[in-house]
């Protein structure tokens, strides 16, 4: 029996569902029940009725699914698949900022450990950060951990005062401006679609800045035929699936999140078969970290209702 059939069989036996981020390998995206950006996956995780969730992504994603579903089993295909940025802020600096600024909201990018989320007022993703920051009553915003997303959000919410933490995504930070300019020169008609985790010099070239889902949606709805994609190369699969006639260029040194690529079909089969790598979070920690996650989902929904 093929591995995909074996996974399907185990999924039925164990009442399991597979969630995958756009950065995982194409063969993993292909077998996923739900695929999307961090916001979509958090929304889905909250509404699922299955007893077991296999999260094909990095550990903070599995942690968020577990925090939102404490009674369910959340399995990580690879327990070592981690996000470097998720560890780049710290509780001590947060406490210091709370003392230094009155009327402060600690806004925590979902790409953070559960430990860190406990100290935040609200979580955000790249898809909803602007909406949520605008909804907050606070004048001062301490945005952790990503300085690049913070900068993009601050530019769209000029009425608030921002303090940026100094974290970053190594995959987006290391993209080379020269390589992007070179592709632009060769394909002047290509629209430049950029993830907000990219540094300022790359965002400055963008025709559109948005989350992975936002980039895919923009390319799909656009009449343009060519796009220069400035994010991790896993999005190519969905871009090509949805847009067979269009051309997608990536920087010559393709941005690859090696942690996302650790997720394989074999590892998904193994955790379904054995139940290993179940996410465990201390109950009190989970209760504390759930508040900012729930607040994110509530504020995002509130805005959607108003449209």
Quick one: what does residue 250 bind among ligand 13P, ligand SF4, none, with the CB cut-off 5 to 8 Å set by partner type?
none
Asked if residue 245 lies in contact with residue 222, where contact means CB atoms within 8 angstroms, the answer is no
Q: At what angle do helices 38-47 and 59-68 cross, to 10 degrees?
A: 30
Residues touching ligand 13P: how many (CB under 6 A)? 13
Between 43 and 212, CB nearer to ligand SF4: 212
Least Å distance between CB 23 and ligand 13P?
A: 6
125: contact with ligand 13P by CB under 6 A: yes
- R_g of the chain, CA atoms, integer Å: 19
Report whether 127 contacts 39 (CB < 8 A). Answer: yes
CB of 212 to ligand 13P, least distance (A): 4
Minimum separation from the CB atom of position 40 to ligand 13P (A): 8
125 binds, among ligand 13P, ligand SF4, none (CB under 5 to 8 A by kind): ligand 13P
Question: Rounded to an integer, what distance in angstroms lies between the CA atom of residue 67 and that of residue 280?
Answer: 9
Nearer of residues 7 and 108 to ligand SF4, judged by Cβ? 108
User: Which CB sits closer to ligand 13P, 213 or 277?
Assistant: 213
Residue keyed to tokens 């450990």:
113
Residues within the interface to ligand SF4 (CB under 6 A)? 23, 58, 83-85, 111, 169-171, 197, 232, 257, 259-260
**Shortest spacing between CB 235 and ligand 13P, in angstroms:** 9
Q: In terms of CB distance, is 10 or 108 closer to ligand 13P?
A: 108
- Taking the least distance from each CB to ligand 13P, the nearer of 151 and 187 is 151
- Which residue is associated with the tokens 């606070």? 138
84 binds, among ligand 13P, ligand SF4, none (CB under 5 to 8 A by kind): ligand SF4
Site residues for ligand 13P, window 2-61 (CB under 6 A)? 37-39
**Residue 169 CB, nearest distance to ligand 13P (Å)?**
6
Q: What gap in Å lies between CA 228 and CA 191, rounded to an integer?
A: 6
Nearer to ligand 13P, 16 or 83 (CB): 83
Q: Which residues inside 184-243 make contact with ligand 13P, applying CB under 6 A?
A: 195, 197, 211-212
Please answer whether residues 159 and 179 qualify as being in contact, where contact means their C-beta atoms are separated by less than 8 angstroms: no
Name the site residues for ligand 13P (rule: CB under 6 A).
Answer: 37-39, 83, 111, 125-127, 169, 195, 197, 211-212
């Amino acid at each position: 029996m093929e591995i995909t059939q074996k996974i399907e069989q185990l999924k039925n036996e164990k009442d399991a569902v597979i969630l995958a981020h756009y950065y995982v390998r194409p063969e993993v995206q292909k077998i996923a029940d739900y695929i999307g950006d961090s916001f979509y996956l958090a929304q889905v995780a909250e509404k699922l009725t299955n007893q077991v969730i296999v999260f094909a992504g990095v550990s903070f994603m599995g942690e968020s699914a577990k925090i939102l579903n404490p009674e369910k089993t959340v399995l990580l295909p690879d327990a070592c698949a981690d996000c470097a940025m998720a560890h780049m802020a710290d509780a001590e600096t947060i406490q210091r900022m709370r003392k230094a600024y009155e009327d402060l909201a600690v806004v925590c990018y979902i790409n953070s450990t559960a430990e860190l989320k406990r100290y935040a007022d609200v979580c955000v993703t790249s898809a909803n950060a602007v909406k949520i920051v605008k909804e907050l009553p606070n004048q001062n915003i301490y945005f952790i951990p990503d300085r690049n997303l913070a900068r993009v959000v601050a530019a769209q919410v000029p009425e608030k005062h921002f303090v940026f933490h100094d974290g970053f995504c190594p995959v987006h930070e290391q993209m080379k401006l020269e390589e992007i300019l070179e592709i632009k020169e060769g394909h002047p008609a290509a629209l430049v679609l950029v993830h907000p985790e990219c540094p300022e010099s790359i965002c400055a070239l963008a025709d559109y800045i948005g989350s992975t889902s936002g980039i895919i949606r923009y390319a799909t709805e656009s009449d343009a035929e060519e796009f220069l994609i400035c994010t991790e190369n896993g999005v190519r699969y969905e871009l090509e699936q949805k847009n067979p006639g269009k051309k997608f260029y990536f920087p010559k040194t393709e941005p690859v999140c090696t942690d996302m690529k650790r997720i394989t079909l074999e590892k998904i089969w193994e955790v379904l078969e054995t139940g290993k790598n179940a996410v465990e979070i201390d109950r009190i920690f989970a209760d504390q970290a759930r508040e900012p996650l729930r607040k994110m989902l509530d504020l995002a929904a509130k805005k959607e209702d108003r449209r």
